[in-house]
Every structure is written in C-alpha cells, then in structure tokens.
Amino acid sequence: MKQSCIRMILAPLAIAAAVFMLSGCTKVQEQRIIRIGHNQSTNHPSHIGLRAFQEYIHSKLGDQYVVEIYPSELLGSQTDMVQLTQTGAIDFCIASNSILETFSKNYSIFNLPYLFSSQEAYHAAMDDPEVTDPIFESTVDAGFTSVAWLDAGTRNFYTINKPIYRPEDLKGLKIRVQQSPTNIEMMRLLGGSATPMGFGEVYTSLQSGIIDGAENNELALRDNGHGDICKYYSYDMHQMIPDLLIGNNVFLNELSPEEREIFEEGFELLNRVQREAWTEGVEDSVNNAKQNQGVEFIFPDTEPFRIAVLPLHTSVLSDIPEIQAVYDKIQEYNLKESSGADMEGV
Ligand code: GCU
C-alpha cells in the first residue's frame, strides 16, 4: 500500500521529467549547428575573432543556431577543410588565400609577392569590395564564397641556422612554402628550393631536418613553436596574404534576408576583433621569440628580393587577364597610401 502510494506520486513526476527532457532534446535538435574549422591554436587572433562571432550569433539567433568552433586542424588540414566546406559537411572554415588559388585562379592575385606597398595599402585595398568581390565571388561554382578577410600579417623567411640577408642566401636551402603554384614559383625566382606542405607538418619537418626553414608571420614562432627550432627571422616582407573565412553556398543561400544581415554583421565583427588582436599577438610573439626562444630578428634590404620576384606579376596577369582591373585598383591604393605616408613625414 505504501509502495503503490509512492508509485502514484512518483509516476506523474517521472512522466513530467521525461516530457521536460524530450522537449529539451527537441529544442536542441531544432537548433541548426554551424561548424567552423580552422588550423590555428586557441591563442590565435582568428580564434579570438571567431569567439566574438560565435557570441554574436548566440545573442541574436541563439534559439535557432549554435556555432561550434574546431581549432588546431581538428577537422583536418586547411585543404581538407575547404573540401568539407565545399560539400557542406561543415559550414565554414578559415583558409589561407594561398591555397584557394587551386580552387579559383583569381585568388592568385593576393598571393603575389610585394603586391602591396605598405600595411596601410593592404588593409585599405582589402576593405574595398571593388577589390575583393571579383575574387571572393569567383568560387561560387566551386560551392563556397569568401565572406570575411582576416589579417595574417607579413610573411618573412626564417631558418634553423643560416641567416637570410639577401636572396642568394636561400640558395641550396629547402624552404617550406604553402601549397600554391605562385608560392612555388616565388621560391624558384628567389633561388631557394620550395618544399610545399601543409601547415601542421612544418614543426616536425623542421625538427627532423627535412627542411631548413620556412616563411610565415611572427605568430608561427610562438603559436606553432617554430621559434624553438629556427633562430633567424629575416624581415624580407615578401607577402601579405590574407586568411579568409569561407562559407558553404547552400548554407549561405538558405539564410533568410534578416538572418543573412545578422551573419554579415557577425562577419564584420570577426574581422574587427581579429585585426585588433593581431597587433597585440605579433608584439607578444616577437617579445617571446626574443626573450624565451633566442630568435634573432634581421632587417635585410628588401629591394633585391622584390626585384627577383617581380616577373611573377607579369606572368600571373597575362595568364589571368580578368584580374587586371583589381590589380590596377590595388596600385591606386599603393600610390595613395604611400603619398599619405610621405605627407605624414613632412
Ligand atoms: C599563416 C596563415 C594560415 C596558414 C599558414 C601556413 O599562419 O594564417 O592560414 O595556414 O600561414 O603557412 O600554412
């Protein structure tokens, strides 16, 4: 009697709990999970920017969407992640512009060495849709579109034990480059031996001596430990290659106009937060490399490097005439920003 009483009291409670749990499950199922992959650590400015994007979408559309971020190549290399984004297996990933030229040749333009004459010209050009739209929209047939650009600083050479002061110093050295025809040709023109490989393989390749050095921004010294192995970092400033957030087209096209607007605001926030965190990240990486990793920073004359690789501009433009207008627009920014810099000095 006592037991049946307890059952009578507990049964409705159990049903209520089950209904509550089921309704909870249904709610989770109704939310669309958005998966974003990238290949950097959680300290990196791009991860910090993505966290801001995640929070923004949560605050505006949290009942419909949950953003999940997968850092550190958890979903594979950048090339793997681009392919996952193409098919819609994931919705977004961050890819270096470098590897995108194999998906649409228009992207080659931002891989050209010494394309931008200053950081100001680079930022101003990348903020101009007249420059970016013809490139970012050129992968529509490939299933994805670039929706935001992210700063990836300036790429410079760094080596295990031979400092680079001039292009001739690269002769005979095996230098890791990103998997892009433009980068391979750049290394050929500079006289080094290009060893293309994914970012995640660079540390062990340096460690085992498969390569003699690599080229990247300063964050690779700190976040990827390259400064533990490479003791010379030479500011030859050969490229300013943006990273791009790319999104699956089916996903983007299925958003309602109101949702798309919120996502666009989120992309702008990502860009802003990432760029702010970038400056701090570079400063911290340089200090860390000097104080804790024993890296020596070298400031060579950049002109011999620039002259050696300039033929690439002519060959890429004659192969891809459709990007000429974008190239010309970038030259306008180069002129404008450098005359602005001169004025400041007056
Ligand atoms: C930079 C860039 C990455 C890229 C890497 C590389 O770190 O931000 O997107 O993958 O260079 O050299 O592969």
Q: What is the DSSP string of 286-311?
A: HHHHHHTS-PEEE---SHHHHHHHTH
The CA 274 to ligand 1 mean position distance, Å, reads 15
Beta bridge partners of 144: 248
78 within ligand 1 shell (Cβ under 6 A): yes
Q: In testing the pocket of ligand 1, which one of 39, 41, 186, 218 has its CB within 8 Å of the most ligand atoms?
A: 39
The CA 9 to ligand 1 mean position distance, Å, reads 61
111 within ligand 1 shell (Cβ under 6 A): no
Residue nearest to atom 6 of ligand 1 (CA): 199
State the closest ligand 1 atom to the C-alpha of 46, by its place in the atom list counted from 1: 8
> What was the pLDDT predicted at 338?
77
> What was the pLDDT predicted at 29?
54
> What was the pLDDT predicted at 8?
45
Question: What pTM, to 2 d.p., does this model score?
Answer: 0.90
The CA 220 to ligand 1 mean position distance, Å, reads 8
State the closest ligand 1 atom to the C-alpha of 176, by its place in the atom list counted from 1: 12
Rounded Cα distance between 118 and 42, Å, is 28
Residue nearest to atom 9 of ligand 1 (CA): 96
The CA 199 to ligand 1 mean position distance, Å, reads 6
| Tokens encoding 58 | 């949560």
- Apex 45 CA angle, 43 and 49, nearest 5: 110
The CA 268 to ligand 1 mean position distance, Å, reads 21
Instruction: Report which DSSP code applies to 113.
Output: T
The CA 249 to ligand 1 mean position distance, Å, reads 23
Ordered per-residue pLDDT tens for the chain, 346 residues: 444 444 444 444 443 443 344 344 344 458 999 999 999 999 999 999 999 999 999 999 999 999 999 999 999 999 999 999 999 999 999 999 999 999 999 999 999 999 999 999 999 999 999 999 999 999 999 999 999 999 999 999 999 999 999 999 999 999 999 999 999 999 999 999 999 999 999 999 999 999 999 999 999 999 999 999 999 999 999 999 999 999 999 999 999 999 999 999 999 999 999 999 999 999 999 999 999 999 999 999 999 999 999 999 999 999 999 999 999 999 999 999 975 444 333 2
Residue nearest to atom 5 of ligand 1 (CA): 199
Rounded Cα distance between 159 and 106, Å, is 31
Q: In testing the pocket of ligand 1, which one of 93, 94, 96 has its CB within 8 Å of the most ligand atoms?
A: 96
> What was the pLDDT predicted at 57?
98
Rounded Cα distance between 167 and 74, Å, is 36
Residue nearest to atom 8 of ligand 1 (CA): 152
The CA 96 to ligand 1 mean position distance, Å, reads 6
The CA 4 to ligand 1 mean position distance, Å, reads 67
Identify which of 341, 281, 336 has the alpha carbon closest to the alpha carbon of residue 125.
Answer: 336
> What was the pLDDT predicted at 254?
98
- The CA–CA distances, whole Å, from 210 to 173, 201, 213, 227 equal 10, 11, 9, 17
